[in-house]
Structure 1
Amino acid sequence: MIKNVRKFINEHEQNMVSLLKKLVEINSYTGNKEGVNAVASVIQAECEAIGLHVRRESSEQAGDNLVIETQLHKEGKKGILMCGHMDTVFPPELGFNTFTHDETNFYGPGVADMKCGLVEGIYVLKALDALGLLQDMSIVFICNSDEETGSINSSELILKEARNSFVGFVLESTRAGGELVIGRKGRMTFELEVTGEAAHAGNVGAAKVSAILELARQIQALEELNDLPQGLSVNVGKIEGGVGANTVSEKARAIVEFRYTKKDSGDKVWEAVQQLAAKPFTKGTSCTVRTITARPSMDTNDAILGLYDMIKEIGTEHGYDIQCAQCGGGSDANYISQTGIPVIDGIGPIGGKLHSVDEYLVSSTVPERAVLATLVIAKAWDLYCCK
């Protein structure tokens, strides 16, 4: 099988690069619905060309989500979930909109995060189809439109499909060393708003009820919740408040995030945040907290490690050096893991400098990881879905 898969991918490598270029040069910033939908249309056409069923689910808040499925999945047979996102973090006005390359890398907005993964997923399906395997497999490929903002409008779709799957794969680009991701931190972003009493700074005296003063004290207490050895980080990323130097501030606010490796530690931090807000340090002030986004942690467990061992065995057999790692950043694998099915992330090509105008993708790993992913999907079907 390895010989046939490599032959197919090698013969179609230039097609993969052309498709990657086409997708990268469509601006699909999360807030650019038209651009995200244009990416969705390209993917839809590629998949329908090999007889896959494609369903588009629209949303008022974001672009369309794609559900790409084989006939067996459409008929309700449980199988394999693949997942990738179409949106990027680069707004059109940034002017970062060109696909370029040199001898070793491809460059461009979303080239690694994660339009390379979308191309990989499409060509995994095409390779399986060319080998005559796809018609006997139940596979669903979710391409969602709002992962970069927490998958607020697509997480329920992903969870629904995960519950109807035996195993999951997220096709995010992999780390610089090529490691597969077996665990990711959970993340919550929240707003802390403080209310005080407006007053003239020169006349208020000792009775000052300053929202800014209370916010500063809350920030110090929040930062003290950091516990890096335990994988817990808290960061106050933005603050606002006040109208001028001669006015005691009535309102002040901060945008804060915390990340955690285990659910129980995340729960404890959130409880501590609410306790701090309930008991302000400055008399007369009040604090409220409001969740903006939340993504659960992807906790490494025996099921995930078992799936990783299967992939490592494939690597050993066919000359791939397979390693694993845990990551601080989140992805849709965080959601998939909540259903209890084993999921592996970072099975895409190697990339780096994500979310920057220097984002790159190692070009040689595009066909390499497509071959690996095809072998992994085929083996996972035999081991997990044909019981």
Structure 2
Amino acid sequence: MKEYIRFKQDEMLNLIEELVNIDSGSVNKAGVDMVGNRLKAEYEKIGFRIHEVPQREYGNHLIIQHKKADVPEILAIAHMDTVFPFGTAEERPFKRIGNIAYGPGVIDMKSSLVTLLYAMKALIKEGSPHYKNVQIILNSDEEIGSPSSKELIINAAEGKKYALIMEPARKDGSLVSSRRGKGNYTLNVIGRAAHSGIEPEKGRSAIEELAHKVIQMHELNDHENGISVNVGLIEGGSSVNTVSDHASAQMEIRIAETDQGLRVEEKMEKICSRTDVPGTEITLEGEINRPPMEKNKRNRQLLRKIMLVGEEMGIEITDTSTGGGSDASFTSAAGIATIDGMGPVGGNAHSDKEYLEISSLTERTLLLAKVIENLSE
């Protein structure tokens, strides 16, 4: 497999270039579907069956497994969407400088899409039967929290033993063994409007009430224990000479452990149960939309298996924790051994400096193929 994958490196890079040069932001259904159709054709060539899950608002999701697969035990997940707006690919298309490739989505995660495909091809070329032990989900909305694919992933996880999430490896090559969970909330305040010059005493400022609540929410931060509460957007009022009758704030929380979410929500609800500005009203809406991926016993055991495969290949596999979210949270919370960061090495995702280390492309493709073999045996 090693020689086959090395021989295919240029072919892999050509496909990565093709995918990078397709705009596929999460809300660009046409672009995401173009990526999906391109990959669908490649998988069909090697005997895989594709079940397309149509979506009206987002790109269609793909569930892929070999025609001869019976009950696959390994779930591999990769996403086809990026964070970039339409036109980005034309502004700064794929380019290669030495061992580095650049372009929108090159590492997050169009290179991973190609890595996964060629790991399957390598297993088939080797005559290994273990490509039949993998079910693949390519979803279209991971970058916005997987609103339409979350249930699909959770359902696919049922009965699986392992989940391999194809987010890129970190800059130092580390896999991801834990991620913080997150929730999104909106705080709405209703006040009473009044002219700020003629009769301000008749007003009840929604902005003033919101200001109290923003400070109180930020006091819930406990960074040492992995809890962060951030009010990221606020708005309110109608004019500078009017006591505001409405204001709102959008906030996000991050948690390291599942039960932290419940505790933080209780504290947020308590804060909103009373007003600091009499005559105002408060509502709080939202939920935890991604549970944390905890480094539990199952995940540690899977990590150890991957490390042993790395040792056989002469690669030192390390792991790390990250605050960012991914679909690993759903499979891990579903009780399946999960490891993330199984893609190639790169960095600066979501920026105009996003890059792929080309030399890691063949290495991580081989690692993925051998991990699938090891887990299947």
Same fold (TM over 0.5): yes
Counterpart residue number, 1:330: 325
Task: Report % sequence identity.
Answer: 38
Counterpart residue number, 2:204: 209
Counterpart residue number, 1:46: 42
Counterpart residue number, 1:377: 372
Counterpart residue number, 1:385: none
Q: Is the 8 A contact 1:137 1:381 kept in 2?
A: no
Counterpart residue number, 1:65: 61
SS of 1:67's equivalent in the other structure is strand
- The TM-score normalised by the length of structure 2 is 0.97
Counterpart residue number, 1:260: 255
Counterpart residue number, 2:75: 81
1:301-343 deviations in Å (ceiling 9; x for gaps): 1110001111111111220010011110010000011111101
Measured after TM superposition, the shift of residue 205 of structure 1 is 3.8
Distance 1:291 1:54, change over 3 A: same
Does residue 1:302 correspond to 2:297, yes or no? yes
Measured after TM superposition, the shift of residue 252 of structure 1 is 0.7
Q: Is the 8 A contact 2:180 2:325 kept in 1?
A: yes
Does residue 1:353 correspond to 2:356, yes or no? no
SS of 1:369's equivalent in the other structure is helix
Q: Is the 8 A contact 2:200 2:243 kept in 1?
A: no
SS of 2:59's equivalent in the other structure is coil
SS of 2:272's equivalent in the other structure is helix
Q: Is the 8 A contact 2:120 2:131 kept in 1?
A: no
- The TM-score normalised by the length of structure 1 is 0.94
1:260-290 deviations in Å (ceiling 9; x for gaps): 1001111111121122222122111111122
Distance 1:37 1:220, change over 3 A: same
Structure 1: distance between partners of 2:242 and 2:288 = 33
1:357-385 deviations in Å (ceiling 9; x for gaps): 11111111111110111111110111xxx
1:126-184 deviations in Å (ceiling 9; x for gaps): 11111122477321110000000100100111111111311110011011111111110
Counterpart residue number, 2:307: 312
Distance 1:96 1:274, change over 3 A: farther
Structure 2: distance between partners of 1:323 and 1:28 = 31
SS of 1:165's equivalent in the other structure is coil
Q: Is the 8 A contact 1:71 1:135 kept in 2?
A: no
Q: Is the 8 A contact 1:24 1:97 kept in 2?
A: no
Counterpart residue number, 2:121: 126
Does residue 1:18 correspond to 2:14, yes or no? yes
Instruction: Output the aligned Cα RMSD.
Output: 1.4
Counterpart residue number, 1:114: 109
Counterpart residue number, 1:184: 179
SS of 1:329's equivalent in the other structure is coil
Structure 2: distance between partners of 1:172 and 1:298 = 14
Does residue 1:218 correspond to 2:213, yes or no? yes
Measured after TM superposition, the shift of residue 207 of structure 1 is 4.5
Unaligned runs of 5+ residues in structure 2 are none
Counterpart residue number, 2:231: 236
1:218-248 deviations in Å (ceiling 9; x for gaps): 1000111110100111111111111111001
Structure 2: distance between partners of 1:230 and 1:221 = 18
Counterpart residue number, 2:132: 137
SS of 1:106's equivalent in the other structure is strand
Distance 1:189 1:227, change over 3 A: same
Counterpart residue number, 2:32: 36
Counterpart residue number, 1:147: 142
Q: Is the 8 A contact 2:130 2:373 kept in 1?
A: no
Unaligned runs of 5+ residues in structure 1 are 383-387
Q: Is the 8 A contact 1:198 1:248 kept in 2?
A: yes
SS of 1:59's equivalent in the other structure is coil
Letter in 1 for 2:270: Q
Q: Is the 8 A contact 1:214 1:280 kept in 2?
A: yes
Letter in 2 for 1:380: L
Superposed counterparts of 1:89-104, under 5 Å: 89-94=83-88, 96-104=91-99
Letter in 2 for 1:304: N
Measured after TM superposition, the shift of residue 206 of structure 1 is 3.8
How many pairs are equivalent? 376
Structure 1: distance between partners of 2:302 and 2:130 = 24
Runs of 4+ aligned structure 1 residues displaced above 2 Å come to: 93-97, 134-138, 203-208
Letter in 2 for 1:13: Q
Letter in 1 for 2:294: D
Letter in 1 for 2:134: I
Letter in 2 for 1:82: A
SS of 2:376's equivalent in the other structure is helix
Q: Is the 8 A contact 1:214 1:281 kept in 2?
A: yes
